[in-house]
A and B are shown apart, each in its own frame.
Chain A
Amino acid sequence: MMPANESRAKGVTVRLEDVSFDYGEAPFRFDVGFAAAKITAIMGPSGSGKSTLLNLVAGFEAPRSGRVLIDGSDVSAAPPSARPVSMVFQENNLFAHLSVERNVGLGRSPSLSLGDADHAAIAEALARVGLAGKERRLPRELSGGERQRVALARVLVRDRPVLLLDEPFASLGPALRDDMLDLLANVHTERQMTVLFVTHQPEDARRIGQDMVFLDNHTVAATGTAADFFDGSGPDAFRRYVGMDAAKGSRLDDRG
């Protein structure tokens, strides 16, 4: 294991090349790239394929055809743990019977055989996400926001160049979500990983998104910078989806 504060992984590009996939119904088709070291917000109606896209990158699903490229190399056949990817889900990110410290430790060693350097890295990561002193707690003794912080600490100790976020803050209240978004933005500034951020909240995307990918009908409907999407020049389907008043241009109706 490498020392805690050395040679951290920098973001790399992620690309889905003519990927098709299906659960037995209408197929998904993705042909899209994600810039290195940027936060790309992925939005779209329910069932449009946001989570499926993340699952393809993470390796939980295998494409029927096409390739998944990370940093230019084809990972389509690699198991999830062999990909340079970390992921945070909306819930169940932690093992309920393991302490905070051990949950984070699993990011360093899947057998929890941890050395001094690992413990140092874990302590540093927990401090970074504001959980110093809660190492011995069990997940059930934490709030929902704290649990997601533990998941983020594990992302830090795993130190992979790509971070996939599948609506990680969807079950948090507005104030907590803002805190988490700030934390995420700060961590991103330090680590410069490539972040694919699936969210239902236009506010999330506007707040920390740099690029945007909009999915509709099982495929990529539009891509661009977040700024373009939110200043009214985004595609109609996106404006309808977020409830943006087309006449006034940029007012957002937060759909909660």
Chain B
Amino acid sequence: MQLAPRSDPRITAGIAALGAITLLIGGAFAGLVIEGAHDFSGAASAFDPYLLRVVRFTLWQALLSTLLSVVPALFVARALARHPRFPGRGLILQLFALPLALPAIVAALGILALYGSAGYFAGLLGGRDWPGIYGLSGILVAHVFFNLPLATRLFLEALGTVPANHWRLASQLGMGVRHAFRLIEWPALRAALPGVAGLVFMLCITSFTIVLTLGGGPAATTLEVAIYQALRFDFDPARAVTLTLLQIALTFAVVLALTRLGANTAGDANLPVAARRYLSASPTETLLNAALIVLALLFVAGPMAATVAAGLGADLGRLAGEGAVRQATLTSVVLAFLSASLAVTMSLALIAARRALALKRRAGRKTLLEHAADTGAGFVLVVPPIVVGAGWFLLLRTVSDVFAIAPLMVVTVNAVMAMPFAIRAIRPAYDAASERHERLCLLLGISGWNRLSLIDWPSLRRPLATGFAFAMALSLGDLGVIALFGSDSVQTLPYLLLARMGSYRTADAAGLALLLGLVCLALVLAADRLGRGERS
């Protein structure tokens, strides 16, 4: 039992945040259920061979993407771990952090510019035998582009947890490279493997933008894209309900399996620290490792370089002067700003409530509320933005103009989607600060506004800024919700980009991609810098 003020405002704030999340997701479910009940036979009849093919493709592409990302990542991570100090290593790791922040549509454009049928690669080959990259191959390349660096970083982090003494011991015992791998590196990698693979699988199964832009036709469509098409093109709500419920069941099953495996579903934004190694690599191994790292580097850097090159080739001056571009930029920035503010505020409320409840509890069982504050934000990963958007779309289409609520949907859904990342940025700092300050504040009677302004704000400023920048980058680059709700009157940059791609104005699209990519990268670099700043 802990004597805390009876009605801790932190707990109240946490309950309010949980309520808002529940409302957002509950409303989406209500929309689905009402629509499903309204047209049950329609929803049931949506189970047809086409649907089964979509489900099969969704799983198949995710499985292949996971294999192609995770297996090479094991070796790249090991290569990087074997050489803890070489010039450019830090830069490579920074570069590997970028895809996480790059909007999917920007990456898709970069990949098209590089490997597409009219891309640089085709130009290099004379354009004759190059088949282009639409369909499964395009989806796989894009997914590996995103997930290979992520998996590499996570594996590298796992290797970093090997105690230095194990390496000292290994060199003292005269272990060779092979034995060191079997006895030291592999156990660490194997422990991380299920979690990393599960995370990548999850990201690929819910990937929307990549499949929308690189997938081709009915042969290469996933559930999420099918939902979007059912709502925006075929206008077949019954079918959308069935697809959405299937998508939820699928992601739920994956998340359940993931939590069993102990995966961290929020990815990671921190650079692992290079530990000192005590086994030096032989020249042959060094050469192999170097080749491996260079290959991975080229694969990751290629599409980014192509984005820049293609973007610079666009008529940037004309684009910047265009009213639609200016309007979309303004809309994007305002919505992303609001979304990030909401994400950070709600994250902080949940983090503080969880901490306050844990302090109050001391020993004994966690209450349901504490569980909810602890993992509530993680559950949003079960319901991808498209699903939430689809639910609200169905719910509201009968009562109002769905396109009029586009800004509200973009802000709230993206805010909730960014919360797991924001929480990861803020929570360690909050808990550490609370650990140091809690009793002092109680003793000195520092509470409420005094506590927020004098004690909490100064120690949380940086992690809050990190979470904010990250959330803003995520929101800026999102195409999921706006694809459903966007219209001529409310356009964001990704939406405009998609429209230009659709009307084959490739140069315009490339210019916009460069702009969007640069803004997101600037935000994420700022987040990284802030996150790694002094913490005393």
Q: Which of A64, A82, A140 contacts B536 (CB 8 A)?
A: A140
Q: Which of B2, B362, B439 has the most CB of A within 10 A?
A: B439
Q: In this assembly, does A59 line the interface, its C-beta being within 8 Å of a C-beta of chain B?
A: yes
Interchain CB contact under 8 A, B442 and A80 = yes
Bound complex: CA A59 to CA B5 (Å): 11
| B444 proximity list for chain A (CB < 8 A) | 81, 106-107, 110, 158
| B439 proximity list for chain A (CB < 8 A) | 58, 60, 80, 87, 89
Bound complex: CA A112 to CA B455 (Å): 11
Those of A72-96 within 8 Å (CB) of chain B:
79-82, 85-87, 89, 92-93, 95-96
Tell me the total A-B contact number using a CB cutoff of 8 A.
Answer: 74
CB distance from B370 to the nearest CB of A (A): 16
Bound complex: CA A82 to CA B61 (Å): 63
Q: In this assembly, does B91 line the interface, its C-beta being within 8 Å of a C-beta of chain A?
A: no
Interchain CB contact under 8 A, A92 and B440 = yes
Interchain CB contact under 8 A, B459 and A82 = no
Q: Which of B437, B444, B459 has the most CB of A within 10 A?
A: B444
Number of interface residues of B (CB under 8 A): 24
CB distance from B364 to the nearest CB of A (A): 6
Interchain CB contact under 8 A, B445 and A62 = no
| A25 proximity list for chain B (CB < 8 A) | 363
Q: Which of B437, B454, B458 has the most CB of A within 10 A?
A: B454
CB distance from B74 to the nearest CB of A (A): 40
Interchain CB contact under 8 A, B440 and A60 = no
Those of A92-151 within 8 Å (CB) of chain B:
92-93, 95-98, 106-107, 110-112, 140
| A111 proximity list for chain B (CB < 8 A) | 446, 450, 454
Bound complex: CA A81 to CA B447 (Å): 10
The digit string for B421-465, where 1 denotes a CB below 8 A from any CB of A, is: 000000000000001110110111111001000110011000000
With both beta carbons as reference points, the residue of chain B lying nearest to A21 in the complex is identified as B1
Bound complex: CA A112 to CA B454 (Å): 8
A86-B443, A106-B444 given as contacts; is B3 within 8 A of A80 (CB)? yes
With both beta carbons as reference points, the residue of chain A lying nearest to B450 in the complex is identified as A111
Interchain CB contact under 8 A, A87 and B436 = no
CB distance from B403 to the nearest CB of A (A): 47
| B435 proximity list for chain A (CB < 8 A) | 92
Which 4 A-B pairs rank lowest in CB-CB distance, beginning with the nearest? Answer: A81-B445, A24-B363, A97-B458, A110-B446
Known: A62-B1, A80-B445, A92-B440. 11 other contacts (CB 8 A): A59-B442, A61-B1, A62-B3, A79-B3, A80-B439, A80-B442, A82-B445, A95-B454, A106-B454, A110-B445, A140-B536
